[in-house]
Amino acid sequence: MRQFFSTTLGHILIIISCSTIITFFVLCTLLFVPKGPPGPPWPWQTTYRVGSLVKILQETQPAHRDAILHAAQRADGIAFRWTSQLQRCKKQTFNTWDLTRTLSYELEGKSRVEVYACNDQDPRKDIQVIIKMGGNYLEARIANIGREPTRFTFPTFCALLFLLTGIAVMSVWAIARIISPLRKLSEKTDLFSRDMTVMPITEEGPLEIRRVARTFNLMQERIAHYMQSRNQMLAAISHDLRTPLTRMRLYVDTALPQPAREKLVKEIDLMNKLIGTALSFIRTGSDGEQAEWVDLDALMSTLCDEYEDAGVAIRYSGTAALTVFCKPDALQRVLTNLIDNAAAHGDQICLHASQDAEQVVIMIQDDGPGISEEMLEKVKEPFFRLDIARGERKGSAGLGLSIVNEIIKLHGGTFELINAEPSGLIARIALPKQIAPAAAENGTGAIMLNSG
């Protein structure tokens, strides 16, 4: 859940939810919090009665006010009296607030008005109105002010419902318009990082998103052009380096005596191998190979048989009918490099393949001397050669493990080296089972596994 709210979609949902809640509370405040006097009819009937009497008393001589007050007494639920000692009730409700505002409005703010509810069980009954007039107070006791007006009416409910529905619909549309181009951009970026295949993104969505898509399309074209130029340069370098080596080999085979010939032939073959290894590392991930379904169990069994025929002590155990969606030549190069490395430093080699719900794991173990813990990551760097712990390997350029690491990364997996007990080294490859739908459609180097 925390990871979801850290995404752009989560941020947008939080912003929209907060704004919706704030809008709702603002509307409720406008509906229920006291403001100007309410519209007629309620409580204007009582307001007119009390207000008219107050205005008459204000225009009357003090000697005649008692007579007027006595004449105003009626058996209709409102009683008036003069008092100098007040005992105020304490409770206030929406009714008392409304009546206070209407009386203040009717009296034009010339007299201080206080309204309280004296019946705790039924706040609509026994309302106390206090109006200061000179040194005394006019107290009006209203027996029943009637039914409290409905505040949350059906039209109000429909308006709120329409508002919230509109916010929800517009939010979904805005989220889809923003998130969809970003999701496509993320998928295409991931695919391009794996295969360097130009796949233009449709420029859609808000202006900023269209600018990002346009910039990404230009970046793809520039990188693709750079990669094409680099491959052409590598082809020229390969030709220019190997042509003189071929002439040297021809000269050695025809002109030199046997003892010197064998030594020079070995050196020439070594140079050819080093050149091929370096070019292979540079071309990793840019050879244009398409991914396809490969029977991993059959591939590893075949490799073990070939090495066993060559005199290598090797055995394989693993899950049957384990298929992999990958670049077959690249994966075979990974396994071959690791088996060659194990055979160069150990006498016994064991291959094992297994899987769980998330990934498939390939392990290649030898019984050699192993590698010190601080060097386990460093040996995966290009051109690094660990001569002390594992012994110098003739013809090695220090690129075998680097090539393995790059290929596994391009396939979305992980590669690590682990020292075995009591001795030996384990090369562990973990490949994910699932790939993005777009990756599967475009046949990229991401991996998907299917155990039959």
pLDDT tens-place string over residues 252-293: 777 767 667 777 777 777 777 767 766 666 666 555 677 788
Residue 263: Cβ within 10 Å count: 11
- Reported confidence tier of residue 350, pLDDT bands at 50, 70, 90: very high
What is the residue whose two structure tokens read 């008219």? Answer: 52
Residue 211: Cβ within 10 Å count: 12
Q: Are 350 and 365 in contact (CB under 8 A)?
A: yes
User: Per-residue pLDDT averaged across 439-452, rounded?
Assistant: 42
**Region of poorest pLDDT, from 142-151, 228-237, 332-341, 362-371:** 142-151
Q: Identify the pLDDT of residue 364.
A: 94
Q: Are 349 and 331 in contact (CB under 8 A)?
A: no
223-247 burial code (b ≥16 CB/10 A, e <16) = eeeeeeeeeeeeeeeeeebbeeeee
Query: Does residue 158 sit in helix, strand or coil?
Result: helix
Backbone angles phi, psi at 121, to 5 degrees: -75, -40
pLDDT exceeds 70 at position 436: no
- Reported confidence tier of residue 120, pLDDT bands at 50, 70, 90: confident
Q: Which two tokens stand for residue 146?
A: 């009637």
Residue 341: Cβ within 10 Å count: 24
pLDDT exceeds 80 at position 331: yes
Best CA proximity match to 142, nearest among 275, 266, 47, 256 = 47
Question: How far is C-alpha 198 from the chain's CA centre?
Answer: 25
Q: How many whole angstroms separate alpha carbon 188 and alpha carbon 219?
A: 12
Question: How far is C-alpha 427 from the chain's CA centre?
Answer: 33
Question: How far is C-alpha 243 from the chain's CA centre?
Answer: 53
Q: How many whole angstroms separate alpha carbon 444 and alpha carbon 289?
A: 9
Arithmetic mean of pLDDT over the chain: 78
- Reported confidence tier of residue 429, pLDDT bands at 50, 70, 90: very high
- Name the burial class of residue 345, with classes exposed (0-12), middle (13-18) and buried (19+) by CB atoms within 10 angstroms of its CB: buried
pTM above 0.85, yes or no: no
| pLDDT tens for each residue of 159-197 | 778 877 887 787 777 777 777 888 888 888 877 776 667
- Name the burial class of residue 103, with classes exposed (0-12), middle (13-18) and buried (19+) by CB atoms within 10 angstroms of its CB: buried
Asked if the bond preceding 206 is cis, omega within 30° of 0, the reply is no
Number of H helices, E strands in the chain: 13, 12
Backbone angles phi, psi at 198, to 5 degrees: -70, 120
- Name the burial class of residue 430, with classes exposed (0-12), middle (13-18) and buried (19+) by CB atoms within 10 angstroms of its CB: middle
Best CA proximity match to 47, nearest among 116, 140, 110 = 140
Q: What sections of 346-396 are H helices per DSSP?
A: 387-390
Pairing of strands 359-366, 425-432: antiparallel
pLDDT exceeds 50 at position 439: no
Q: Which two tokens stand for residue 368?
A: 């050699």
Best CA proximity match to 95, nearest among 25, 132, 142, 30 = 142
